């Protein structure tokens, strides 16, 4: 029997990867998985604590293990941490059996959705968070786009609209039939 591919969500912090991922997982009846949760469960501490105690480099090494382990599961919906696509090994693993969708957003929409910045080590200490988000986004943009099969800009969309576009892209690429007209995703 044909093995269905994973639906992998990549993109910057606070673009809705977990929210949209959960909705898509429920629509597809796939398990929902998340690289940050995998890391926190295995390490028994938060991402913020790992950054503080051991630094970003160690976090990235554990993150690579998370991607390797989770890529072996299929079919799942996988939400990935914002730095995952910067490592080419992660991208190759995710693409072997996954359809990769980039959730993009403007710096303003990201800052609005980011909530408590304290839990986000890469932007927590910035004096001008909007400027810092803009800079990080520009630095990452080409890696994000190269890793993705398609992109959905979630800035001005509701979770329902974003999920619909993500799922339509996935179904077309996975060779599944389109949703019937009027299908709901809430």
Which residues would be at the binding site for ligand S3P (CB under 6 A)? 13, 17, 36, 47, 81-83, 120-122
Residue 169: how many other CB atoms lie within 10 Å:
18
- The vertex-103 CA angle with 32 and 80, nearest 5°, equals 40
Nearer to ligand S3P, 25 or 47 (CB): 47
Nearer to ligand S3P, 56 or 183 (CB): 56
Instruction: Report whether 6 contacts 69 (CB < 8 A).
Output: no
| Shortest distance (Å) from residue 183 CB to ligand S3P | 28
Instruction: Report whether 97 contacts 71 (CB < 8 A).
Output: yes
Nearer to ligand S3P, 125 or 183 (CB): 125
**CA nearest 22: which of 12, 31, 13?**
31
**CA nearest 13: which of 85, 92, 66?**
85
* Beta partners for residue 77, in sequence order: 7, 32
| Shortest distance (Å) from residue 145 CB to ligand S3P | 16
| Shortest distance (Å) from residue 96 CB to ligand S3P | 21
| Shortest distance (Å) from residue 167 CB to ligand S3P | 20
DSSP H or E segment with residue 8:
strand 6-10
Nearer to ligand S3P, 145 or 178 (CB): 145
Nearer to ligand S3P, 82 or 169 (CB): 82
| Shortest distance (Å) from residue 175 CB to ligand S3P | 29
Nearer to ligand S3P, 120 or 132 (CB): 120
Instruction: Report whether 22 contacts 186 (CB < 8 A).
Output: no
| Shortest distance (Å) from residue 154 CB to ligand S3P | 13
- The vertex-53 CA angle with 51 and 59, nearest 5°, equals 40
Both tokens of residue 101? Answer: 């969708």
């Amino acid at each position: 029997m044909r093995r269905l591919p994973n639906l992998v969500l990549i993109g910057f912090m606070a673009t809705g990867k977990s929210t949209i991922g959960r909705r898509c997982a429920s629509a597809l009846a796939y398990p929902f998985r998340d690289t940050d949760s995998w890391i926190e469960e295995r390490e028994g501490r938060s991402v913020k604590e790992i950054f503080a105690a051991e630094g970003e480099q160690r976090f990235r090494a554990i993150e690579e293990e998370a991607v390797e382990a989770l890529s072996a599961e299929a079919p799942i919906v996988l939400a990935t941490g914002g730095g995952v696509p910067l490592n080419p090994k992660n991208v190759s693993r995710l693409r072997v059996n996954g359809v990769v969708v980039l959730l993009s957003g403007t710096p303003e929409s990201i800052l609005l959705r980011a909530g408590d910045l304290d839990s986000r080590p890469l932007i927590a200490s910035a004096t001008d968070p909007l400027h810092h988000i803009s800079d990080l986004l520009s630095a990452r943009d080409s890696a994000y786009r190269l890793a993705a099969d398609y992109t959905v800009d979630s800035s001005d969309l509701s979770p329902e609209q974003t999920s619909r576009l993500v799922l339509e892209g996935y179904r077309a690429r996975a060779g599944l039939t389109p949703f019937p007209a009027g299908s709901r995703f809430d």
